[in-house]
Structure 1
Amino acid sequence: MAPSESNEPAPSRSHRQVILVRLLQLAIAGLLLATLIGWLGQYSYLADLAAHFRLQYLLLAVPLTLLLAAMRQWKSTSVGLAVVLINAGCIAPLYWPAPVPPGNTASLKVIAVNVHVANRNHARVQKWLRSEQPDVVIVSELSTAWSHAIAELTDQLPHRIEQLDVGNGGLGVYSRFPLDESEWHLLGDVNHAGRIRITVDGTPVTVFGVHTYAPFHRWMSEMRDEQFARLAELVDSTETPVIVAGDLNATTWSAGLRSMLAATGLVDTRVGFGLQPTWPTTPWPLRIAIDHCLVSDGITTVSRRVGPDIGSDHFPIVVELRLPPTGQ
């Protein structure tokens, strides 16, 4: 017998199909498990990590469900439909148009950008910020080099508070308007929130610039959630309309951020404008939205978009807001 010959019979087509079905069933069951575990983030760091990937679960579940339906695997198809519906239900409200009330109240253009401490594309960021002409800019991972680069925009953003850091904890809040008040608030043991109060066409507004811990370890996830709790206290003690913006290192499906939103009543400015994922700078289906602008009820989002690639691992966000009438 020739060496290439074998006594083993070739797998039948039906046998290969059975293996394929089992693999598809296992994959869809895994997606359902990940989808459900994501709601248990308050009990487990790993479960909270699972909450961030609703878009990815949806994009994987759709073709898997269609394949299972084509194979007439109805029980597994129903599992796939559950995965699709649950995750689509999380995402769909972000695409429902939010009403923009009529009026000529004060407007404010806010940019939040994580420049990445190792990024040397200073000129690119300067050029882009000049073209946008923002009123307020929050810069995460502010280094000495980045502080000098932003200082060259003083003609547009003359008012500032900065907290420099040799690592990635630096933060800056910059404003076109004079600062009525400014203060740094310690969030946890290291990171700070920069708070400024400005007056825009007679309307006072408080802006918190924030960069919370990234949940790379259990203790960092717990610290980030403690930072959210502290931030909620600061927001609740503020008498003016509030804007919270920056790299929050969490999606709005994360337990800690969900708790902060529930405690403060802050509104996600993405509502009506879609997912707008910002990290990392990979193709869109692989990203998650962890850079945020959250506002008090009464502040209206006129437009919101993701900015260009600036050489960072984050895309910036650009939000145009309409402030409530004075006295509200």
Structure 2
Amino acid sequence: MFLKLMLWIIRVLILLLVVVSILPEMPSGQWWIRLWEFPRLQLTFVLAVVLLLLIFHAWLKRPRKEHAVLLVLILALAGWQLSHIVPFTAVWPNEVPTADAQTLENQSTFKVLTANVTYKNDSYSEVVELIQREDPDLLLLIEIDSEWEEGLAPLNERYEYRVGEVRGEGLGIVLWSRFPFLEQEVKYLVSERRPSLFVTLDIPGIGPIRYVGTHPVPPGLKDRITHNDETTERRDSRVRDAELMLVARHVQQDSDNRWIVTGDFNDVAWSDTTKLFADLSDLKDPRHGRRLLSTYHAERPFWRYPIDHLFVSDGFHLVDLDRIRLKGSDHFAITTTLTAARKDQAQPEASEDEHQKAQELVEEGTEDASEHNVSD
């Protein structure tokens, strides 16, 4: 009886794992479908547990044909999940080259820190102390409300330049910089509630660099869909996807310049949307060939995903990449030290199908934002 029950548990678990592995491949923006793009590492762990159960059952019952079929399914599913994760390990080629000693002797370096502080967090002084210790040249902080603005006031003495918007409900975003702004603009790409920052920086020894800080809406977030506070609905991924595609278009249209795009994308590094964003913009992920750097949830190690990102165009080499705990926040901060390198001036080479897919995402996201009263 025990062995029969174990076999049924194994069968049911494998069936469920097949379903949740297939769901993200469906062309849908529903949050409960897109959700399954996130836990690929966790699903791989579950598959390893199921594999051990299967081996134990085969050892007790003696191997038979069904064991072989289930084994093939488990290995195929594990291979599929791991294929998304392996590019973020040392076995994969680097997308952003590592700066060599000669480059560092001849070029200036600068440090970027990106962090979602979590607006319900009140560890203002501790965050200020961390920032002062890390001493970034560019500092993007997300979910800045009026309380956080007051708590971060000491940064205004440390940084001469600042742009952004302070808003409640986790919607604020502010950039502090040691470098002067040649251009600066707060854009509302899809939703009037979600600002993104577009800045041209003048970095001594490097020249002008285009910079974007963004924080698209997370799928699954409960959002009001009418003016009645009791009427809520979980957001799907369409508005987020549209915003990322529009950022990619901005980069693509000015690909001769160097670009840095960073922020809390609310999307994992291996998702189809993030990969399409990278293909359209021809931006590179410095985690490729190095490590995963999962940033959320900081307090729950098993449920942790890489959703805070920094992408760069060619024309940069990586000096350092790290993840830092931010007191009181459910996100880790990421720090990236970069130096300039020769830019090849190559144009993005996204396919027509990718451009068509991006256009569909923009249209669907804009329509979705309008329908749910978040576009104005």
TM-score calculated relative to the size of structure 1:
0.89
> Contact between 2:248 and 2:281, CA under 8 Å: does it hold in 1?
yes
Give the partner amino acid of 2:247: L
The partner residue of 1:78 within 72, 78, 82 is: 72
Farther off after superposition, 22-31 or 68-77: 68-77
Alignment-derived partner of residue 370 in structure 2: none
> Contact between 1:41 and 1:254, CA under 8 Å: does it hold in 2?
no
- How is 1:1-328 mapped onto 2 (pairs within 5 angstroms)? 15-42=1-28, 44-72=30-58, 73-96=67-90, 98=94, 99-102=97-100, 103-104=103-104, 105-190=107-192, 191-200=194-203, 201-216=205-220, 219-238=235-254, 239-325=256-342
Deviations 1:222-271 (A, max 9, x none): 11111112111212223421111111111123333222122111112221
> Contact between 1:196 and 1:206, CA under 8 Å: does it hold in 2?
yes
> Contact between 2:164 and 2:186, CA under 8 Å: does it hold in 1?
no
Superposition RMSD in Å = 2.0
Give the partner amino acid of 1:87: Q
> Contact between 1:122 and 1:146, CA under 8 Å: does it hold in 2?
yes
Farther off after superposition, 123-132 or 188-197: 188-197
Max radius of gyration: which structure? 1
Alignment-derived partner of residue 368 in structure 2: none
Deviations 1:3-33 (A, max 9, x none): xxxxxxxxxxxx1111111101211221122
Which segments of 5 or more consecutive residues in structure 1 lack a partner in the other structure?
1-14
> Contact between 2:317 and 2:339, CA under 8 Å: does it hold in 1?
yes
> Contact between 1:57 and 1:83, CA under 8 Å: does it hold in 2?
no
> Contact between 1:68 and 1:74, CA under 8 Å: does it hold in 2?
no
> Contact between 2:6 and 2:57, CA under 8 Å: does it hold in 1?
no
> Contact between 1:277 and 1:284, CA under 8 Å: does it hold in 2?
no
Question: Following the alignment from structure 2 to structure 1, what is the Cα–Cα distance between the partners of residues 115 and 29?
Answer: 31
- SS for the counterpart of 1:199 is strand
> Contact between 1:55 and 1:91, CA under 8 Å: does it hold in 2?
yes
Which segments of 5 or more consecutive residues in structure 2 lack a partner in the other structure?
59-66, 222-233, 346-376
Percent identity of equivalent pairs? 25
- SS for the counterpart of 1:62 is helix
Displacement of 1:293 in angstroms is 0.7
Question: Following the alignment from structure 1 to structure 2, what is the Cα–Cα distance between the partners of residues 82 and 282?
Answer: 31
Question: Following the alignment from structure 2 to structure 1, what is the Cα–Cα distance between the partners of residues 195 and 319?
Answer: 29
Count of residues in correspondence between the two structures: 314
Alignment-derived partner of residue 6 in structure 1: none
> Contact between 1:116 and 1:168, CA under 8 Å: does it hold in 2?
yes
Displacement of 1:288 in angstroms is 1.1
> Contact between 2:127 and 2:326, CA under 8 Å: does it hold in 1?
no
Give the partner amino acid of 1:227: E
Deviations 1:83-126 (A, max 9, x none): 21111111111113524253133322111111111211000100
Question: Following the alignment from structure 1 to structure 2, what is the Cα–Cα distance between the partners of residues 142 and 44?
Answer: 28
> Contact between 1:41 and 1:51, CA under 8 Å: does it hold in 2?
no
Displacement of 1:283 in angstroms is 3.2
